[in-house]
Amino acid sequence: MSIDIPWKPECKNHPRQTAQILCRDHHDIVCIQCYLDNHKACDSIDIHDPRKVKSKYCKLAIELIVLKDTVVKKLAVRDFLIKQVEIEKNKLCALMNDKFLLLVGKLKMSKDNSLTEMQMQFDERLRVARKAKVMLAGYTERLKDGGMSKRESIERFYRNDSAGEIPKARFSLSKPLHDILMAKDPFYGSYHLHVVSPLRRN
């Protein structure tokens, strides 16, 4: 299987220059400038001179050197791309982490606001309950001390502070009396139950 290698490879130190000299000591193909600077004392041949490149091994050595340089360039490109991918991945991870922390902060703020609102509602209800307890305790003390008459206490019990109306009351009767009043016991005849407010006078 033949390998298609360009016969005019580029110098790795001067990419725009065509490599023309094979340095056998350093196993490298260089341009004229590199030869004059660093390889003048080395065992070298002109790879473009057919008379110098006669043997099969010489041609194979040139092809291998060109392949090596090509692989090195490809690996350099691959390493560069891997680094770029790693950089982009780190940027994406940092962005996702920032978004996550922002979301966690918003959730915590919402939770704190909800707890604050619940605490305010609880404090308000507790304040109302304590106020009602104090008022009830005051009424009880006045009843104990005789400072509030029976009629006044009944009025306070029946009066609705918001509208001044007498609220409806529900009474529980014993079953025998309930049966009598509801005419379920024929011995006592028929009766009608009238509930009269204690504040009314005949």
Three-state DSSP at 84 gives: helix
Helices (H) and strands (E) in the chain, counts: 4, 3
pLDDT score, position 130: 86
Residue 46: its H or E element: strand 44-46
Q: Within 13 Å, how many C-alpha atoms sit on residue 194's CB side? A: 3
Q: Pick the closest to residue 2 from 70, 56, 55, 72 (CA basis).
A: 56
pLDDT score, position 164: 47
pLDDT score, position 78: 93
Q: pTM of this prediction?
A: 0.40
Rounded Cα distance, 147 and 150, in Å: 10
**Which are the contacts of 201, defined by CB distance < 8 A and separation ≥ 6?**
none
pLDDT score, position 188: 47
| Block mean pLDDT (10 aa), the chain, length 202 | 52 76 78 80 70 66 77 89 94 93 90 87 88 80 61 58 46 57 52 48 45
pLDDT score, position 42: 80
Please write down the long-range contacts of 110-116, taking CB distance under 8 Å and 24 or more positions apart. none
pLDDT score, position 37: 81
